[in-house]
Amino acid sequence: MRRARSNRLGGVAGVLSLMLAVCVPAKADIAYFTSFTTGALVRYDTSNPAGTATVLSGSGSTVQPGALAIGPDGNLYIGEAGNGGAYAPRISRFNLTTNTLSPVYTFAAFDVFPGSLAFKGSDLLVGRNPFFGNTGAIVRLTNVTGGVAAPSDYTTGGNLQSSPGLALAADGSLYVSDQTYNFISGLASGPVKRFDATGAFVGEVIASGSSGLSGPTGLAINGSTLYTASIMAGTILQTNLGTDATTGFASAGGFFEVGSLALLSNGGLLVGSPSGSGNIYRFGPDGALVSTYSTGLGQIGGVVAVPEPATATLSLVGIALASWCRYRRSRGG
């Protein structure tokens, strides 16, 4: 009897282990992106991009949205450059529960054209878009998730020409793509710079033109590794933040094919193309190209990714555990 009970309990444990081993790795990430060209906001499952693409906010709902971030409240925040006239640059919020879009803050003086976004706690850091000749410090917006948003300069020093890439490390350090775009030649250049947790300039992490850097754009951090999009070369660089040693990581194979970056839960990257091809590239943790999603929506603005909830797996585990507990009670075990 004891051996039979042990075998049955071992069988339940085996089933649970199998379920966890099989179901959890199959979990995909949900991606969101904006079309800088059309203004659309789209969601898709990274395991089946074309088959799951859903337009959350249609063409024209935002104007030149070049930046996107997930807030601590679980909503999407969009940086819009506007049209230089009646529609001023602004930050908008898309509520993923109610599927509604609303303005959060408008840069009425046309002094900031959002090119990147990053949350530091409940404060939103706003970088500047190089394609509008927008120079200056990183802006901090307080009360973004509720209340009246208020802007102030976050960074000091560093003489930023623009900032199409922002990434925060675990220690609070801020990494910034300081890109200079030449409107005559159409060429981009510049370094990647580091600021401390107070926003004070520390120094350059990657010098302009070194280690294959040619026009720093999107940034992403995974632990102690910084990823940088090199827009002129169409490549992604990786930097060990402990040593600041930089090497090549991945290539999208084309001029202006890499822009915004989003870190995936498996350590891979999503890379949006600002070229107008409409492509979003998915790279594995080893830098190998896994897939290309041709969205058909022109220039890709911002891209973010969040893990998909494994509700089905958790439900199955719950059912199995409940059955096991009922068995034990019926046997007095």
**Residue 193 neighbours by CB under 8 Å, 6+ apart:** 158, 160, 175, 176, 178, 201, 202, 203, 204, 205
Residues 266, 324, single domain; the answer is no
Residue found by looking up tokens 């120079």 in the block = 135
Residues 138, 284, single domain; the answer is yes
Residues 297, 331, single domain; the answer is no
Residues 317, 207, single domain; the answer is no
Q: What CATH number has the domain bearing residue 191?
A: 2.120.10.30
**Residue 305 neighbours by CB under 8 Å, 6+ apart:** 29, 30, 31, 32, 46, 262, 263, 264, 265, 270
Residues 197, 277, single domain; the answer is yes
Contact 272/303 with Cβ under 8 angstroms? Answer: yes
Residues 1, 57, single domain; the answer is no
Residues 85, 227, single domain; the answer is yes
Residues 191, 51, single domain; the answer is yes
SS3 175: strand
**What CA–CA distance (Å, rounded) separates 108 from 275?**
28
pLDDT at 11: 47
127 is in which domain, residue-wise?
A: 29-309
b/e per residue, 258-295, with b = 16+ CB within 10 A? bbbbbbbeeebbbbbbbbebbbbbbbeeebeebeebeb
Residues 136, 201, single domain; the answer is yes
pLDDT at 55: 98
**What CA–CA distance (Å, rounded) separates 214 from 256?**
10
Report mean pLDDT in 10-residue bins for the chain, 333 residues. 45 44 61 98 97 97 98 98 92 98 96 97 97 96 96 98 98 98 95 98 98 98 98 98 98 94 97 97 98 98 87 40 44 49
Total domain count, the chain: 2
**What CA–CA distance (Å, rounded) separates 34 from 43?**
9
Residues 20, 40, single domain; the answer is no
Residues 153, 259, single domain; the answer is yes
Residues 164, 236, single domain; the answer is yes
